[in-house]
Amino acid sequence: MGLKQQMKQTLGMTMTPQLQQAIKILQMSVMELQQEVNKELMENPTLEEHSGDEGGEDPKEAAGAEAPETAQQQKESAELEDWQKYIEQSQSAGDYKSTRNTNVDDVPTYEQIHAKPETLYDHLMWQLRMQAHDEKELFIGEEIIGNLNDDGYLMVLLEEIAGTCSVDVAEVEAVLYKVQRFDPPGVAARELKECLLIQLEILEEDDACEMIVENHLAELETKNYALIAKSMNLSLDYVKELCKVVHGLEPKPGRSFVHSEPVYFVPDVYVLKVGDEYMVVLNEDRIPRLQISKDYQQQLSEGQIKGQAKTYVKDKMKGAAWLIKSIIQRQKSIYRVTQAIVSRQRDFFDHGPQHLKPMVLRDIAEELELHESTISRVTTNKFVHTPHGIFELKYFFNSAIKRSDGEADMASESVKQKIKSIITSENTKNPFSDQQIADMLKEDNINIARRTVAKYREALGVLPSSKRKKFF
């Protein structure tokens, strides 16, 4: 088989750097876009924030009555005019409403005041410093406190602490006993049983409570009070009273000191009710308004920049123009998709999540004549502020649950909300089983299996009926 060269003409799609940038920006959240814009402002000298001054000299007029432009200069001037014309047209207020061009008083502000919360370590060390008799006790106590997990349990052996502090285990045990009686009670315990027994000791509760903790934790968890009563030869009512005391204890003493960092969602778009209609307003407060530097445009048109510097500046100006174009396209896409969602999900905006309708990406894609992948990118990591709270745009896309009476299909999220409503209104002493909930939904012409109810219940973070049951 011989080797030979052959020319062949084919059609294909190539992902240009500009297209890759547009796709990347389309997927960004408003915070990510802000960071990307600030990065480009630092790296691209021809890109700058819009000053708000609409005036300024035309580059041609600024040249005065100098020599006529060459053909190359005329071509470059035309390119500059095309870039500027596109940007000015695209940034016009008629394309979409945003926080820049819409005066709406209902748009919420996001000023937050933060205070550093006290940690479990700080709280315990303050008590230790108040009560330690000497430096050795302080040193051992600090080693114990430093080895507690977020729940307040001691995670190392006493022998390890003794070795680290070069003391006897008995000395560590003495300090541990003192730390375990600090606030919160039961802290520095090594297991659940020890934690609960320490709290019962401090509360000076009935010895029978300690017996339940010592011997019947498994039955206590499953709420098998009859078996506990039989084993302890006590009346069922009395055992229930004892168990009520135990259930009131704190199994995780350090829990109240765990302060996870709050997650703040900055909406990309607001849906505001004005009269009987809903207005879609893009959030552009955090996105700088960009333009191509007029100084560089003028210097290019006058021929002041030459050689490699000229090539560099032109490349940077093209990059700046593509960035501005990609951002404008992103904003227009979010605006159009949100408008389409509001139009299709009017019942949700009027009445809340229980009235969400089934909808898939294809529905919006066909309406806006866009590809489903584009709708997916537009709705990823984008949040909308509605009269019912802040939701990710993907929240409005749900699979359909068919109804047995032939009425319109329900969204899966609406069914979840209905299950949540049923559980909220149940008798806590006799909670509904998953099968009972499925039967109740069937009465509303929502025909789903018990296992589907269990799946939705778990998604809502709700325990099964056996663990929801309360005896007192």
Pairing between β-strand 277-282 and β-strand 290-292 as defined by DSSP bridges? unpaired
Q: Is 280 helix (H, G, I), strand (E, B) or coil?
A: strand
Residue 69: the pLDDT is 53
pLDDT at residue 467, rounded to an integer:
77
pLDDT at 434 over 80: yes
The reply to whether 316 and 230 lie within a common domain is no
Give the least confident one: 88-102, 168-182, 185-199, 237-251: 88-102
Contact (CB, 8 A) for 250 and 184: yes
Which residues form the domain of 152? 120-257
* pLDDT in the model for residue 64: 41
Question: Rounded CA gap, 461 and 276, in Å?
Answer: 36
State whether 159 and 247 are in the same domain: yes
Of 234, 257, 280, the one marking the end of a domain is: 257
Span 235-275, pLDDT tens digits: 998 988 888 888 889 999 998 887 666 666 788 899 998 88
Is there a single domain that holds both residue 203 and residue 271? no
Specify whether 347 is located in the same domain as 300: yes
What single letter denotes the amino acid at residue 444? D
Listed in sequence order, the residues at least 6 apart from 155 whose beta carbon sits closer than 8 Å to its beta carbon are 147, 148, 149
Q: Report the mean per-residue pLDDT for the chain.
A: 82
Domain end, chosen from 338, 361, 378, is at 378
DSSP string of 385-405? EETTEEEEGGGG-B-EE-BTT
Q: What pLDDT, in 10s, does the model give residues 313-322?
A: 888 888 888 8
Last residue of a domain, one of 228, 257, 286: 257
283 part of a folded domain: yes
Instruction: Read off the pLDDT of residues 198-215 as tens digits, 9 standing for 90 and up.
Output: 999 888 888 888 999 999
Q: Would you say residue 436 lies in a domain?
A: yes
pLDDT in the model for residue 450: 87
Number of domains in the chain: 3
Whether 164 and 215 share a structural domain: yes
Say yes or no: 230 and 351 in one domain: no
Using alpha carbons only, what angle is made at residue 259 by residues 254 and 261, rounded to the nearest 5 degrees?
155
Same domain, 302 and 178: no
Other CB atoms within a 10 A radius of the CB of residue 163 amount to 12
Look up the CATH number of the domain holding residue 229: 1.10.10.1330
Residue 396 lies in a domain: no
Three state DSSP letters for 250-279: CCCCCHHHCCCCCCCCCCCEEEEEECCEEE
Per-residue pLDDT band at 93 (split at 50, 70, 90): very low
Residues 294 and 330 in one domain: yes
Same domain, 249 and 307: no
pLDDT at 333: 92
Contacts for 66-75: CB closer than 8 Å, 24+ residues apart:
66/302, 73/301, 73/303
Domain for residue 200, yes or no?
yes
Q: Which residues pair with 49 in a beta bridge?
A: 290
Q: Are residues 41 and 149 in the same domain?
A: no
**Same domain, yes or no, for 286 and 196?**
no
Q: Is residue 387 part of a domain?
A: no
Give yes or no: residues 84 and 201 share one domain.
no
354 or 166: which leads in pLDDT: 166
pLDDT score, position 10: 66
Q: Which residues contact 280 (CB under 8 A, 6 or more apart)?
A: 96, 97, 269, 270, 271, 335, 338, 339, 342
More confident residue, 401 or 328: 328
Q: Is the pLDDT of residue 179 over 90?
A: yes
Q: Between the CA of residue 125 and those of 74, 139, 164, 298, what are the distances in Å?
A: 76, 11, 19, 66
